[in-house]
Structure 1
């Protein structure tokens, strides 16, 4: 070796490997060639070459006999011994055996030379014939002193196989072996309970059988897939118009209202049914939010809009239930191209005839680059990801003389619709919005400008994924042939946007579709387990139920669990079905006002008293107070549809809601830029800084432009 020059890490490791092969007399062998060709990464160390050779030798044995189940355990350098793991079984009962891994100690030098001399297949065959030591002792112990675990008497092989996942225990680790046996017994108890539930109700473990009307049909499913502004929903609505009976299902009240109005304009009377209202104007057609799906009635045509929301963490269960449960001769679904695999999988499970159409965007969507906040063009949407940010953006742009509309999730649907109208009719030059703009609002936008591409999702502050960026960016350039421009205020966000525009959208794996419990599940669990409280019923469903189809997983939202705890405490006399309905009430229990008010309403409902809306709420407060009032009226209206006799203060609630809406709209129409807010810019790049920012530079400059 030339000591005068500096050797690379790869050369040093290669030299150590060659020295080891020479020491063992293995040069010019297939094993040596494979060892020298093995990748040398930065984490490979010279001192680890013996361990690397040990692992490679066992891997060659496993490759020569793939059915043998041989695995590498570890290598002990002081004794030069390899631990090879051989598959074995411990018989627990007649016909029931626990898979285990039996360790065998072998000298590296002896094993490597044997593999080179006789070949890996012959050595692997000898290892397979070895009788694992230790299994007889465990079996004798189980025969003489059977475990007293609950479920031991009903243990089956399927229970043991589940307990052995993801890797069987080591036979020498007796503590883990008996832990797996106990776990198998727990699975046996669960299986016995679930078998009992399924015996009482054959649809209990088969999620698809929860929807008998749909299962009685041979449905035709038509999927209109493509990006935003590709005309997917337009085709679906035309099919609804021409059908004798039909139902539209969308993610937002605003979207349901928009499609109801479109159908009416096309000459088809249509009802509007959401969680808080029922405007019945037609017996044949309805536009609904997806949670209000009618599973009991057969329709000629049904439309499920935005099917990609089946993967949504909070509401995905509603899209899954809608697809599986809608009884329609023709079911139309819309979504991005990336949803095709999951649609095909669901169609296969449901026995549907599937027809897929791909649509192209009607106009190009292009990245415009960084935008100057001093000269923001009209017909632009500026995107932030919090109520505070949107309102500060409004003030910032109004201070420069622009008229601004605002849209964010905390606003009531009526206010959001009015703000969208102001923008459409030219009363506002730009709109500042959260990602609430991504669904349900068609606005005449030339461009979408991202003030940032990070959002707080309720748990962590994270970057937007490409699908989220595309959903929002796609609002730009609506209409045939119109180019939509997407811009950023910082170089970092610009890079993320460019990457999203160039990247094909991906959907999560097909085995992660959430399935929420039905009232049938809740009642069956309560009856069999003799449970009165709702929380343990929901806990059993979420943690101990499995759907065999491999596509659905039992899902109960944390918000539902939190509400169930309150319902169990304050409305314990109600039936379990009624309590489950109450637990699904759409409200934020993290807010003290909503939590305390909900508890008061539950107590009154439990006492069979009428529930009046609190008179302490008024329509004369500030914007935040008005938003709270409107949210609480939404909750009251939702409950009034479920428990009309108790929640009968509807006249007062509607009047209060009207007043609060008018006050909110008046506040948002004001020019916030005249309130003396200081206009601030990044001292390095000139990017606009929000008035509340405590920093003198923007985030991008502070980070040096890095991701």
Structure 2
């Protein structure tokens, strides 16, 4: 085969490269070997430098040997010296029971190495290489024995600590900096292990999360799960059992849900208290309806209902459902949720030693897709869904400008206002309701259909598409009751397709590998005492980053907003007991809001000084609905703190009056017809979809994404 001109730097034809490979095998007398056959059969790149033919043979042989020797890897080939490097697993013996896993470099001459691989095979060569002793490992071990690092935890270092730090790809022996970095991590693991062992010895239950709930562990619980889609009657069955019990709790995700179930229990003839983060209405010593964060772990109950168990997967509040399931001392624990909650229920039941019975329910009525609906012909008894406060209010204005009467429901409204808006809809004082996904929990409305204005939402971090489970949770509000017909529609073809796909083949939400476990007061106090830590922030940091629950079920979880509040609490109330500071750090407050942050800091200083904390006397509510909602948030924070620190937050009567005034003013604003504000109705110039009053462009988002201008 003719060779390319000397001036040509690269071989560009596959047949030329194959010829060069064959010539190299002839030169090395490897053509008849298995290695030679593999080399000729290997894919040929479109542009291979002449010098690369020799290097590619070296790599092929080294890779075959590495495949036969676990942990071996090809290093590099130097064509100048005709040498290649292999990285071989090795261990530096620091002491009899402790060795560092590293990669030792072995330099081999190419031709003897190739001949050896061709004649004896990769496995035999790999076995010989694995038996080699590496002087560098002995030198490293000698150095570490003679003058060990001064890292704290070196004396407690054990092989599991080293294996954990070196598990991911042992570092090359020549990279001393990386080895010492891994050793530092191993020493940190050893120190953590020693500290945690001491903490667990002094505080039973510190590492065994289930033992944080001794009353529950003293019972043999029966768990009954009612699982199914919306309108399947699961919560109804659970509440009937609760009403018939001698004592019990209802635990739900929202104050509105707790309020609704309290009212249902009263209607069934069972007196019931209402206990949430901001109020305590004691009407019964035996029964209560609570938000899940207010679970009573201190005494046994006959029945407890834990609603919406799928929220154990929630990244922000999942810890509360996990704690409630593990810690409720109930003879019968009734758990409700969608079918996707079954794996986590069975997993926790096995862990807690509970007897479990799982019942699956079907939807009591039908739920069908109506496809794309013309926004100009929205029928009464419909809910139109948007995913922000601003969008819901714009939808209200848009539909009222067409003569419809509109109720609105979104998370920023108080439960009282949301209930009143729902009442207006039930009593036919409004024709339709515009709502966020807040409609998906806690409100039973006589809806014939749910219409999605869009199926994307901003979740606090990114704008994302709703998953099928979320779509079904909202869509399922249509057609409530046995034998009912529910319809689901959208204003765009894209959103209609998403809804139809969710209805046709609902996807199961995968259960996470680990479940969140938040620190208890015992954890906080134990870490503070054992480590001598005064500030709350480092205590929470130790819990989240250095504590490991054995068993592979729970992970230590501290929310970022709790960390942010802890920093503020440590700064402005450092003299308070650590348990009180932890309670303050859990205050449901948005510290990104400058007003809330400054008031919270002021209140902390007053509380630490032993002074009374009064609610601000002057608040600007002249800004309309947004200002009223801001005031309501502040009222909620004050009431929450007043339940935790009643001796300091004593302005309850004044705050309650403000809450009532804000509620009345909000209801009055929402009763107005916003369509009389001179808004111009606008439609997408391509598809005719309704455009919100604030829309900048003449096209809707879907048409714009298709390339229209």
TM-score normalised by L of structure 1: 0.90
Contact 1:247 1:287 in 2 (8 A): yes
Secondary structure of the residue aligned to 1:617 is: coil
**How many Å separate the matches in 2 of 1:31 and 1:685?**
65
State the match for 1:7 in structure 2: none
1:237 pairs with 221, 239, 246, which one?
239
Secondary structure of the residue aligned to 1:683 is: coil
Q: CA deviation at 1:569?
A: 1.9
State the match for 1:395 in structure 2: 397
State the match for 1:296 in structure 2: 298
1:687 pairs with 689, 692, 696, which one?
689
Q: How does 1:333-372 map to 2 (within 5 A)?
A: 333-372=335-374
Confirm or deny that 1:435 pairs with 2:434: no
User: Structure 1 73/332 Cα, relative in aligned 2: closer, same or farther at 3 Å?
Assistant: farther
State the match for 1:8 in structure 2: none
Contact 1:221 1:333 in 2 (8 A): yes
Q: How does 1:288-327 map to 2 (within 5 A)?
A: 288-327=290-329
State the match for 1:599 in structure 2: 601
Contact 2:58 2:77 in 1 (8 A): no
Secondary structure of the residue aligned to 2:90 is: strand
State the match for 1:70 in structure 2: 71
2:157 pairs with 155, 158, 175, which one?
155
State the match for 1:332 in structure 2: 334
Secondary structure of the residue aligned to 1:192 is: helix
**How many Å separate the matches in 2 of 1:20 and 1:486?**
66
User: Structure 1 226/136 Cα, relative in aligned 2: closer, same or farther at 3 Å?
Assistant: same
Number of corresponding residues: 690
Contact 1:379 1:447 in 2 (8 A): yes
User: Structure 1 34/272 Cα, relative in aligned 2: closer, same or farther at 3 Å?
Assistant: farther
State the match for 1:4 in structure 2: none
- 1:370-399, Cα deviation, whole Å (9 max, x unpaired): 221111122222111111111001101111
Contact 1:35 1:56 in 2 (8 A): no
- 1:215-248, Cα deviation, whole Å (9 max, x unpaired): 1222222222222222221221122122221111
**How many Å separate the matches in 2 of 1:27 and 1:272?**
86
**How many Å separate the matches in 2 of 1:648 and 1:146?**
60
User: Structure 1 528/426 Cα, relative in aligned 2: closer, same or farther at 3 Å?
Assistant: same
Contact 2:447 2:478 in 1 (8 A): yes
- 1:435-460, Cα deviation, whole Å (9 max, x unpaired): 11121112222222221222222222
Q: CA deviation at 1:466?
A: 2.8
Secondary structure of the residue aligned to 1:333 is: strand
2:265 pairs with 251, 256, 263, which one?
263
**How many Å separate the matches in 1 of 2:384 and 2:15?**
56
State the match for 1:174 in structure 2: 176
**How many Å separate the matches in 2 of 1:339 and 1:56?**
50
Q: CA deviation at 1:192?
A: 2.0
User: Structure 1 304/86 Cα, relative in aligned 2: closer, same or farther at 3 Å?
Assistant: farther
**How many Å separate the matches in 1 of 2:550 and 2:435?**
42
Unaligned runs of 5+ in 1: 2-11
**How many Å separate the matches in 2 of 1:77 and 1:364?**
72
State the match for 1:374 in structure 2: 376
Contact 2:213 2:297 in 1 (8 A): yes
**How many Å separate the matches in 2 of 1:18 and 1:350?**
70
Secondary structure of the residue aligned to 2:331 is: strand
User: Structure 1 36/528 Cα, relative in aligned 2: closer, same or farther at 3 Å?
Assistant: same
Comparing 656-665 with 153-162, greater Cα deviation is found at 153-162
- 1:458-512, Cα deviation, whole Å (9 max, x unpaired): 2222222333222222222222233332222223333333343344434455433
Q: How does 1:471-486 map to 2 (within 5 A)?
A: 471-486=473-488
2:610 pairs with 608, 611, 615, which one?
608
Q: CA deviation at 1:207?
A: 1.4
TM-score normalised by L of structure 2: 0.90
Q: CA deviation at 1:309?
A: 0.9
Contact 2:66 2:74 in 1 (8 A): no
Unaligned runs of 5+ in 2: 2-12
**How many Å separate the matches in 2 of 1:62 and 1:668?**
72
**How many Å separate the matches in 2 of 1:393 and 1:14?**
69
Q: CA deviation at 1:274?
A: 0.6
User: Structure 1 371/29 Cα, relative in aligned 2: closer, same or farther at 3 Å?
Assistant: farther
CA RMSD of aligned residues (A): 3.1
Comparing 476-485 with 410-419, greater Cα deviation is found at 476-485
**How many Å separate the matches in 2 of 1:31 and 1:284?**
84
State the match for 1:512 in structure 2: 514
Comparing 80-89 with 91-100, greater Cα deviation is found at 80-89
2:224 pairs with 200, 222, 225, which one?
222
Contact 1:89 1:135 in 2 (8 A): yes
**How many Å separate the matches in 1 of 2:511 and 2:75?**
33
Select the structure of larger CA radius of gyration: 2
Q: CA deviation at 1:599?
A: 1.7
User: Structure 1 150/177 Cα, relative in aligned 2: closer, same or farther at 3 Å?
Assistant: same
Q: CA deviation at 1:620?
A: 5.9
User: Structure 1 668/21 Cα, relative in aligned 2: closer, same or farther at 3 Å?
Assistant: farther
